[in-house]
Structure 1
Amino acid sequence: MSQARPPGRPLLASTLGFLGLFAGMLLIAEGRRWLPPDPPAVTPAQDAADLKPGSQAAVQDTRPGEPARKIAEDLIAPPPLDPSGIERIEPRPPLGELGLAPRPKTPMPRDWRETLLFRPVATSSAVFEAMGHTVAISGTIGIDPDGTCTFDNTAWPCGQRARAAFNAWLRGRALKCLLPPDADRFAIAAPCALGRQDVGAWLVSNGWAMAAPTGLYGKAEAVAREARMGIFGPPQ
């Protein structure tokens, strides 16, 4: 036989449940009062400004709830620069001779061929004629046959002496020169060799010709001047 439930018990349970829910809400509301405030929202533009070097935001510690304080501003932020105090100076010289090396030689055209020229005759200290060709030794500056040189206030016919020295060295032997196909129609400047000896190097190193500004014989001329050889020395 079932026993009847007192009519007031369900109402009491509902009332207690409601009071418990209300008390919980009060505790949550009271707890939020003690939490720190949420940090302000940062827009993308403000975020980019904070990351910019030297900006005010980049050198400050912005902790929530605390005043901003600067951190090593003199080390992080760039110092002020006055453009009027900048002075342009000349570049330093090269550390070695490699920085002064001449540009590589321009390659000869493909139709130029090595040609043997027999019985050459010097017409000046750096020009000769052979087999209908007139060839000037490239990379050199010759002395006119009528030219004179002065050594210790004494003038002497160095042009004639230089031409004679060139002819004595040639002795009618064949020169091998790099010539274009139509070299017989006009005078041409070309590199030549006597056997394995570079003709231009021999002339300049012995002082019978000068080095062209864009040539390869600048050091050879300096040696000849220092040794007072050929046109740089006494009468011969």
Structure 2
Amino acid sequence: MRPAAVFTGLAGMAVVAGLLMAGEARLRSGTVGEDTTTAEAPEASAAAEIAPEKTAGRSAPISDADAEIIARAAQPAAPSPAPTERTAATPADPARPSEPPGGQAAGPAAKKPIELTRPVAENAGVLSFGERRLQLAGIIPTPADRICGPAGRQWPCGMMAKTALRQLLRNRSLTCDLDMAEWKGMATAACRLGTQDLGTWLAENGWAEAEASSPLDAVAEKAKQARKGIYGGDPRRK
């Protein structure tokens, strides 16, 4: 009986072992599905994290439209055209009067007092400043070669008038009313030595005649009546 009991015990142990192994297999088959589903998510996320690292070394491809937009944005802005004073498409304002070139208003330029140095009297009425010449306004210059007086008592009144003006000037600076400080040829202007108007001084002393309709006409007539200057006799005989 001992061998049969031993055999029966071994068989029971084998059955129990078989049942345990079958149960363990079932348990493993049920948890494998869950492990695979849960394991795939970390692998996918890890792949997503690894993908940018793998593509960081090279530029991602872009479409032609995106490339054109980027190229336009990189170009510098074209400079705006400079404004012109008047275009052909813009008609002139009929209410605005026409202006001369340079934007200055039309009309004669206003004269201004200008200081002139080292005047030289060419005669009683004309001054020279180097190559420039100036005639005093309001009078008729007395030529330096003019002769006055009756026959037998003539005298060089033109030279005397010139000498009188030179003695008054004595190379001092004048203030003359001119359009500009520089001019060419002959100019006509009123000049002053201090506050004394030179044209008035010549007319008052009879060293020059007044122009027609000149404000100095009355002054010159008074000097003529008093027989001053060129209207009188030779001052050297007095």
Matched residue pairs, number? 129
Identity %: 33
Question: Partner letter of residue 178 of structure 2?
Answer: L
Question: Partner letter of residue 119 of structure 1?
Answer: R
For residues 181-214 of structure 1, give each alpha carbon's deviation from its aligned partner in whole angstroms, at most 9, with x where no partner exists.
Answer: 2752120111111111111110000011000002
Residue 166 of structure 1 corresponds to which residue in structure 2? 165
The question of 1:221 aligning with 2:217 is answered no
Determine the C-alpha separation between the residues in 1 that align with 2:224 and 2:150: 12
The question of 1:200 aligning with 2:199 is answered yes
Residue 149 of structure 1 corresponds to which residue in structure 2? 148
The 1:189/1:216 distance shift into structure 2, 3 A limit, reads same
How many angstroms does 1:167 deviate by? 0.3
Question: Partner letter of residue 110 of structure 1?
Answer: A
2:205–2:223 contact (8 Å) kept in structure 1: yes
1:151–1:234 contact (8 Å) kept in structure 2: no
Residue 54 of structure 2 corresponds to which residue in structure 1? none
How many angstroms does 1:227 deviate by? 1.1
Counterpart of 2:143 in 1: which secondary structure? coil
1:178–1:192 contact (8 Å) kept in structure 2: yes
Alignment of 1:106-185 (within 5 A): 109-130=108-129, 132-151=131-150, 154-181=153-180, 183-185=182-184
Counterpart of 2:113 in 1: which secondary structure? strand
Give the aligned CA root-mean-square deviation in angstroms: 1.9
How many angstroms does 1:131 deviate by? 5.0
Q: Please, which moves more after superposition, 141-150 or 124-133?
A: 124-133
Counterpart of 2:123 in 1: which secondary structure? coil
Question: Partner letter of residue 133 of structure 2?
Answer: T
Question: Partner letter of residue 221 of structure 1?
Answer: A
2:109–2:179 contact (8 Å) kept in structure 1: no
Counterpart of 2:154 in 1: which secondary structure? strand
How many angstroms does 1:150 deviate by? 1.4
Determine the C-alpha separation between the residues in 2 that align with 1:133 and 1:114: 17
Higher share in helix = 2
Determine the C-alpha separation between the residues in 2 that align with 1:152 and 1:226: 21
Question: TM-score, structure 1 length as denominator?
Answer: 0.51
Determine the C-alpha separation between the residues in 2 that align with 1:122 and 1:182: 19
Residue 45 of structure 2 corresponds to which residue in structure 1? none
Determine the C-alpha separation between the residues in 2 that align with 1:170 and 1:194: 8
Residue 232 of structure 1 corresponds to which residue in structure 2? 231
Determine the C-alpha separation between the residues in 2 that align with 1:132 and 1:116: 17
For residues 89-108 of structure 1, give each alpha carbon's deviation from its aligned partner in whole angstroms, at most 9, with x where no partner exists.
Answer: xxxxxxxxxxxxxxxxxxx9
1:121–1:167 contact (8 Å) kept in structure 2: yes
Determine the C-alpha separation between the residues in 1 that align with 2:213 and 2:185: 23
Q: Structure 2 unaligned segments of length 5 or more: list them.
A: 1-106
Determine the C-alpha separation between the residues in 1 that align with 2:130 and 2:108: 22
Determine the C-alpha separation between the residues in 1 that align with 2:220 and 2:121: 20
Question: TM-score, structure 2 length as denominator?
Answer: 0.51
2:114–2:181 contact (8 Å) kept in structure 1: no
How many angstroms does 1:154 deviate by? 2.0
How many angstroms does 1:143 deviate by? 1.1
